[in-house]
Structure 1
Amino acid sequence: MKHKLLKRTLPCAALALSFSAAHAAGEAKNVIFFLGDGMGPSTITAARIFKVGEDGNLTMDTLERTARIKTFSNDAQTTDSAPSMAAYMTGVKMNNEVISMSANTVATNPGRDANGNLGVNNCAASNGTAAVTILELAKAKGKSVGTVTTTELTHATPASAWAHICNRNAQYAIAAQLVPGGAGFNTALGDGVDVLMGGGRNHFTPFAAGTNPAGRADGRNLLAELAARDYTVAANKAEMHAAAAGKKFIGLYSSRSHLEYELDRTATPPLGEGASQPSLAEMTVKAMDLLAANSNGYFLMVEGGRIDHALHGTNAKRALTDTIAFDDAVKAALDKAKQTDPTLASTLIVVTADHDHTLAINGYGKRGNPILDINRSYRDNQPNRDADGNTYTTLVFGNGPNRPNVRANLESATVLADNYLQETGVRLSSETHGGGDVKLLATGAGAKAFKGTMDNTKVFGLLKTAFGF
């Protein structure tokens, strides 16, 4: 009897050992990679205080695994978005402005087309070689793949997942890399990226002087070409929600440029095309629904891209609001994934940033003082003042356009307004990226490997390992 019992229990034990070994290796069926563009540590802290106070937590704060990421590029202490995102996607350290190419690739400036629009590809065929991306590897393994962004779909961060080019600004050529069978298609994408969402419809549609002045000079309608390849094409939130699973999908929710800032998208009435644009959380959940139709799993990249743009403009209120919208998308993805995978045993979620900014948090404000307000003392709740006796805000920038020759007294009504631009130390036309390390937070299958201080290129290897590639 004992021998019979032993024979019956051995297969179960072997299965348990096999299961444990698979999860020890960190293999994930699905990977969702969240990128808050420009979301440095100070931006996260300020957004947390703005939303839930000093002792509260954003959803991303609750992820149990953390790491510190070095972000320098191949040729600069402070990176541009293109090589920093490409480092995550390819494991290669490349030059500023280069998208997913070898380290020796030179960022050749793009030219202008016949209509005067910047974006013509001037990359020589001999200028570097393509660096394989994690999205391309996932596609080759039979997984579905997607990118979601609040920027133009052809912008540096989303493009780094699926395009290869020597300069991020050649956006008409970047768009062509998405169209299966078309001129310029990136054949490493197989039958094409399965889910695409963002802005910048002009890079996909023909030039028209009155209605599409930043359209394609070559006359191609890439959206029509994608539709002919059985893509569902959507232009607004309603069409996105109506899209059925089982087909590839592209949603471009602005006729030109990026999606609205979250503060403007939800304004009453919304500005521009904001009324018809989905939130980042809505796009993320819809992308997960569409990608999950593949039983082999998926890779999804989600970018909160307008955090960066607001920081460049030294408009902290919009930057913090977009950071919170990004965090809402993280929460929506966690909730959605746990519906079918309660312990995230087969799903890895990573949240990080491509670079820092020069946003700083001034001391010594009172706990509970509104983070966007003038700085008030923890001693007596009275406004803190500079050496000349003037009030100042808690949030400032190291550089940017808003540096007064002589500082004036600041009032709460002024600094709490939507369009207030924080003061800066060095006067520049636009605030720059910062060179500091950024945070990485992770949960789910393979998350234990994300720890300590690491170069951004090392993340690519951990994503591969998580997938079991």
Structure 2
Amino acid sequence: MHTMKHSFKLSMAALAMTCAVSAFADGEAKNVIFFLGDGMGPVTVTASRIYKYGESGKLAMDTMGRTARVKTYSLDAQTTDSAPSMGAYMTGVKSRNEVVSMDGNTFAQGSFRPTTDTSVTPNVSSAINNCPATGNGASVPTLLEQAIAKNKATGVVSTARLTHATPAITYSHICNRNAEYDIARQAVPGGVGANPALGTGVDVLMGGDSRYWVPFNTSISGKGRPDGRNLVAELQAKGYTHVTDLTTMNAAPTAAGTKIIGLFDQAIAEGQMSYELDRNPALEPSLAQMTAKSIDILSKNANGYFLMVEGGRIDHALHGTNAARALADTIAFDDAIKVALDKVDLKNTLIVVTADHDHVMAFNGYSHLGNNILGKTTNYRTKQLEMAADGKPFTTLVFGNGPNRKAVRDDLTSVDTIYNKNYQQETGVRLSSETHGGGDVMLFAKGAGSAGFKGTIDNTKVYTLLKKAFGF
């Protein structure tokens, strides 16, 4: 009888402890860092691991204790684009392709891209806003906006344009992701077209391409805002420090209340930051360096912070069927994750890593262990080149579609597919550009509030779990 009573007390104590842990799970994360590898599907993760660390190695993201599989379809498409998938993560709402942080009643009306004629100023009305004022859905709050409402510091960091779909989702609302002039002005507190939910503004904004932030100028670049506004100057007037390269970023303050606008134009011809394989390390900051600087600034806020970090150029390299740059940018993204894991206290910080969508890169053949992932497929027994049905070798990484489908395949025997960073892998179906893939993506989580990230979940569920961890 005594033993039974003792067992009952132990069981009740265990139950109480379980309940206490469950209760603590809500709101235990003071800080949340959300890493988004744009287009970083499962094959890209695996290939990047082998590229850098070998088959048995580990990426930083591989060391994170919680994993999940995420469904990525949008409201109107099996295969999503970046806007609605990131929107699901940041708002918990399914939206249509090309729509930025708006509800499911919103359609991506119109489209504006900057003119390629550098002697002509783009039409102001179409450039600023291609969406109707009413009658096309409504905006939905983002996790970043909710963090600001809780007096937390916020940051948005990307190797893509700051106005590109993924970063834009965090701080703006528009019916079409291509209205990037409008997206930029939403980030400027107090200005015309500002997003009032941002209060005094996002504390850290760092990414590529200043054309959407400064006036149109034919004598300098033939690019820029058609409305004549200098949003960088307006942000500086609001207390922002403007940084343009690694030196000015490193010199920027990190004291409490610091605000940064970083626009890195070293790769202005591409309208983004440089690919990692092309980056000048003395001039342009790495994603890891931008992440470290952001954490140093945001962590000064006693109420905590929300930081979104995007490896945006992974996607661009994959669209170009350029595996070398895609893998190198994935490693640069993983290095940023490692920096964050090393810098933060995981007892009060949640780190989540995922992708917005897959791509159609495939890992094929039966190459021997240790074969270079960018190389040609080998026979695992003989280690000699395997041949396709046409008697020619083929690479281990190929793409389901893209521009490199020829009527007669090239003979790759003497072609350098490993060290030529410009090599574009072959594709199965000929299209002008490789497309996204509709497959599920991976998610990794570690730290405070990470227990709920498990199983196969919808991308909207990720928002629910992030919000729950924050206690919103």
* Alignment TM-score > 0.5, same fold: yes
- Structure 1 Cα separation of the partners of residues 67 and 19 of structure 2: 28
- Match runs of 1:34-433 below 5 Å: 34-111=35-112, 115-116=121-122, 119-126=127-134, 127-244=136-253, 245=255, 246-254=257-265, 256=268, 257-265=271-279, 270=280, 275-337=282-344, 341=345, 344-411=346-413, 413-416=415-418, 417-433=420-436
- Structure 2 Cα separation of the partners of residues 396 and 303 of structure 1: 25
Percentage of identical aligned residues: 62
C-alpha displacement of 1:412: 5.8
- Per-residue displacement from partner, 1:199-229 (whole Å, max 9, x unpaired)? 1111100011121311001110001000000
> Please, what TM-score do these two structures have when normalized by structure 1?
0.92
Q: Secondary structure at the match of 1:352?
A: strand
Task: Give the gaps of 5 or more residues in structure 1.
Answer: 1-15
- Structure 2 Cα separation of the partners of residues 112 and 141 of structure 1: 35
C-alpha displacement of 1:18: 11
- Structure 1 Cα separation of the partners of residues 242 and 460 of structure 2: 34
Q: Letter of the aligned partner of 1:249 in structure 2?
A: I
- Structure 2 Cα separation of the partners of residues 112 and 370 of structure 1: 39
- Per-residue displacement from partner, 1:263-288 (whole Å, max 9, x unpaired)? 000xxxx4xxx752100000000000
Is the 2:112–2:178 contact (alpha carbons within 8 Å) kept by the matching residues of 1? no
Is the 1:281–1:328 contact (alpha carbons within 8 Å) kept by the matching residues of 2? yes
Is the 2:28–2:348 contact (alpha carbons within 8 Å) kept by the matching residues of 1? yes
- Per-residue displacement from partner, 1:139-163 (whole Å, max 9, x unpaired)? 1001001100000000000010111
Is the 1:72–1:435 contact (alpha carbons within 8 Å) kept by the matching residues of 2? yes
C-alpha displacement of 1:22: 5.4
Q: Secondary structure at the match of 1:241?
A: helix
Q: Secondary structure at the match of 2:434?
A: coil
What is residue 466 of structure 1 aligned with on the other side?
469
Give the direction of change, closer, same or farther, for the CA distance of 1:467–1:290 in structure 2 (3 Å limit).
same
C-alpha displacement of 1:415: 1.2
Q: Secondary structure at the match of 1:214?
A: coil
Q: Letter of the aligned partner of 1:221 in structure 2?
A: N
Q: Letter of the aligned partner of 2:38 in structure 1?
A: D
What is residue 6 of structure 1 aligned with on the other side?
none
- Structure 1 Cα separation of the partners of residues 94 and 105 of structure 2: 10
Is the 2:106–2:137 contact (alpha carbons within 8 Å) kept by the matching residues of 1? yes
Give the direction of change, closer, same or farther, for the CA distance of 1:26–1:55 in structure 2 (3 Å limit).
farther
Q: Letter of the aligned partner of 2:102 in structure 1?
A: M
C-alpha displacement of 1:21: 5.9
Q: Secondary structure at the match of 1:43?
A: helix
C-alpha displacement of 1:422: 0.1
Q: Secondary structure at the match of 2:47?
A: helix
Q: Letter of the aligned partner of 2:409 in structure 1?
A: R
- Per-residue displacement from partner, 1:163-219 (whole Å, max 9, x unpaired)? 100000100000000001100000011111111000111110001112131100111
Is the 1:26–1:447 contact (alpha carbons within 8 Å) kept by the matching residues of 2? no
Is the 2:100–2:172 contact (alpha carbons within 8 Å) kept by the matching residues of 1? yes
Is the 1:253–1:276 contact (alpha carbons within 8 Å) kept by the matching residues of 2? no
What is residue 9 of structure 2 aligned with on the other side?
none
Give the direction of change, closer, same or farther, for the CA distance of 1:412–1:93 in structure 2 (3 Å limit).
farther
Which stretches of structure 1, 4 residues or more, deviate above 6 A after TM superposition? 16-19
- Structure 2 Cα separation of the partners of residues 412 and 435 of structure 1: 34
Give the direction of change, closer, same or farther, for the CA distance of 1:131–1:264 in structure 2 (3 Å limit).
same
Q: Letter of the aligned partner of 2:56 in structure 1?
A: D
- Structure 2 Cα separation of the partners of residues 240 and 297 of structure 1: 22
C-alpha displacement of 1:254: 1.1
Is the 2:43–2:362 contact (alpha carbons within 8 Å) kept by the matching residues of 1? yes
Is the 1:206–1:212 contact (alpha carbons within 8 Å) kept by the matching residues of 2? no
What is residue 8 of structure 2 aligned with on the other side?
none
Q: Letter of the aligned partner of 2:111 in structure 1?
A: P
- Structure 2 Cα separation of the partners of residues 408 and 235 of structure 1: 43
What is residue 10 of structure 1 aligned with on the other side?
none
Q: Letter of the aligned partner of 1:453 in structure 2?
A: T
Q: Letter of the aligned partner of 1:93 in structure 2?
A: K
- Structure 1 Cα separation of the partners of residues 82 and 148 of structure 2: 24
Give the direction of change, closer, same or farther, for the CA distance of 1:39–1:119 in structure 2 (3 Å limit).
farther
Give the direction of change, closer, same or farther, for the CA distance of 1:101–1:208 in structure 2 (3 Å limit).
same
- Structure 2 Cα separation of the partners of residues 182 and 121 of structure 1: 15
> Please, what TM-score do these two structures have when normalized by structure 2?
0.91
- Structure 2 Cα separation of the partners of residues 309 and 394 of structure 1: 20
- Structure 1 Cα separation of the partners of residues 113 and 458 of structure 2: 36
Is the 1:202–1:215 contact (alpha carbons within 8 Å) kept by the matching residues of 2? yes
- Structure 1 Cα separation of the partners of residues 142 and 211 of structure 2: 26
CA RMSD of aligned residues (A): 1.6
C-alpha displacement of 1:125: 1.3
C-alpha displacement of 1:293: 1.1
C-alpha displacement of 1:112: 6.3
